[in-house]
């Protein structure tokens, strides 16, 4: 895995047009990360990171960028329908994450759907209710809060 290149004064038995006289390097193959090829120009960034010592024991930033892009592109998005089994699997997988509350780019991955203050204020209404009634009251409170949030955002 990596960049493949040729170097020297001649390439394939002759001089390269447009390449100044003297030593040169020609990138012949660029590596792929999950089906996305790094651009030959990414080699400059990899070399610069290695020279600066930033690349010791780390992935090149070009590789990390592709991994982050692919991770976000395939991720569950807000509003995606999930089955109960899918929700359980998602929560289980999030427990194994080092940073479960942000995506690979650092964006938040959680969405507040109920204000705890409102829940505390409803506590007296919930006491003594059946499970179905509690769910109904919480659903109503959630709908009211979401409508208020949409109204606050404006058109």
**Residues 92-151: tens digit of each pLDDT:** 888 888 888 887 777 777 776 667 777 777 777 777 777 777 777 777 777 777 777 777
For the record, the structure tokens of 45 come out as: 């960034």
Domain boundaries, the chain: 4-72, 79-111, 116-153
The distance of Cα 123 from the centroid of its chain, to the nearest Å, equals 37
Q: Is the pLDDT of residue 10 over 60?
A: no
pTM of the model: 0.49
Q: Which residues have CB under 8 Å from 36's CB, separation 6+?
A: 66, 69, 70
Q: Is the pLDDT of residue 77 over 70?
A: yes
């Amino acid at each position: 895995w990596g960049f493949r290149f040729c170097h020297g004064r001649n390439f394939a038995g002759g001089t390269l047009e447009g390449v100044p006289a003297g030593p040169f390097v020609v990138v012949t193959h660029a590596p792929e990360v999950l089906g996305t090829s790094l651009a030959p120009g990414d080699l400059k960034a990899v070399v610069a990171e290695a020279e600066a010592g930033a690349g010791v024991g780390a992935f090149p930033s070009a590789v990390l960028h592709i991994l982050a892009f692919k991770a976000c592109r395939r991720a569950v998005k807000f509003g995606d329908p999930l089955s109960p089994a899918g929700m359980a699997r998602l929560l289980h997988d999030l427990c194994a994450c080092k940073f479960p509350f942000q995506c690979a780019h650092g964006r938040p991955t959680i969405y507040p759907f109920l204000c705890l203050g409102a829940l505390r204020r409803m506590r007296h209404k919930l006491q003594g209710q059946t499970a179905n009634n509690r769910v109904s009251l919480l659903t109503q409170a959630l709908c009211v809060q979401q409508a208020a949030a949409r109204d606050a955002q404006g058109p």
